Structure 1
Amino acid sequence: MEETVTSPPACVFCEILAGRAPATVVAEWPEALAIVPLGPVVDGHVLVIPRVHVEDAATNPAVTAITFGFAARYAREQRRPFNLITSAGPEATQSVTHLHAHYLPRAAGDGLVLPWGDNTRHVTGAEQPAEGSALPRAPASRTGRG
């Protein structure tokens, strides 16, 4: 019996970069592209993707640094408070296996809860957990996208 070899599914970001898939481009640089995601979680949500295929932030730190440099440049031009976020692996909410930085402009009361829950709580010296115990956590939200 002859074995059939199948190719892995095409990377949607590589398809966008090659011009074979549509995207709303908001900024371009020689090494990266900024696009509007299909399901923005806040108005102004943008993804900054490198023009080379890199699986995640740990795969090629040099490309990660360049990509985040362009994301920071884009953020500076927007003149708004923001988060820059990346994920590595499905357990960390990465849904597209191509490095990408989420630029998320923020506003008071925008309702966006990041994947790790209530990030407004800070542990003070009096609240420090005993060595070896877990930090107190708010319930995790599933509203983030990677």
Structure 2
Amino acid sequence: MAGEPQADCLFCKIVAGDIPATVVRETATTLAFRDVNPQAPSHVLVIPKAHYPDAAALAAAEPAVAADVLREAGQVAADEKVEDDGYRIVFNTGAGAGQTVFHAHAHVLGGRGLQWPPG
């Protein structure tokens, strides 16, 4: 069921505390932690605590929580001191776009030049 923890989901296990992560921020609805394979000097994932397979599903079901994820992404950028030089918020959707964990999540990347287009 959408929104419910999934037994086979890596991020649901992180939310539950079953798998360790380097948490940098937490709210009632979100969790932000460092990416284990960083692609920039600052690379933090911001996830909703509720399970949704991607950002579109999250936004359709719980727009307020989707807004919480974006708000926290901005706060992460401020905490990481990358907001003035610029940062990127990325939601990959689907395996073809590079999504490897099918639990909605935003990548907050900064601390280096970020080329456009990305990929």
Whole-angstrom distance in 2 between the partners of 1:100 and 1:55: 9
* Correspondence for 1:58: 56
Whole-angstrom distance in 1 between the partners of 2:78 and 2:90: 15
Structure with the greater alpha carbon radius of gyration: 1
Unaligned runs of 5+ residues in structure 1 are: 1-7, 114-118, 121-139, 142-146
Q: State the AA in 1 paired with 2:111.
A: R
- Of 28, 39, 42, 2:40 maps to 42
Q: State the AA in 2 paired with 1:25.
A: V
Task: Report deviation, 1:9.
Answer: 6.2
* Correspondence for 1:72: 74
Q: Percent identity?
A: 36
| Ranges of 4+ aligned residues in structure 1 off by more than 6 Å | none
**TM-score with structure 2 setting the length:** 0.79
The structure, 1 or 2, with the larger RCO (C-alpha pairs under 8 Å, 6+ apart) is 2
Unaligned runs of 5+ residues in structure 2 are: 1-5
Higher strand share: 2
The alignment yields a C-alpha RMSD, in angstroms, of 2.0
Q: State the AA in 2 paired with 1:52.
A: A
**TM-score with structure 1 setting the length:** 0.66
Whole-angstrom distance in 2 between the partners of 1:11 and 1:86: 17
Query: Residue deviations 1:59-90, cap 9 Å, x none?
Result: 02113222112111221333322101111111
Contact in 1 for aligned 2:7/2:13 (Cα 8 Å): no
Higher helix share: 2
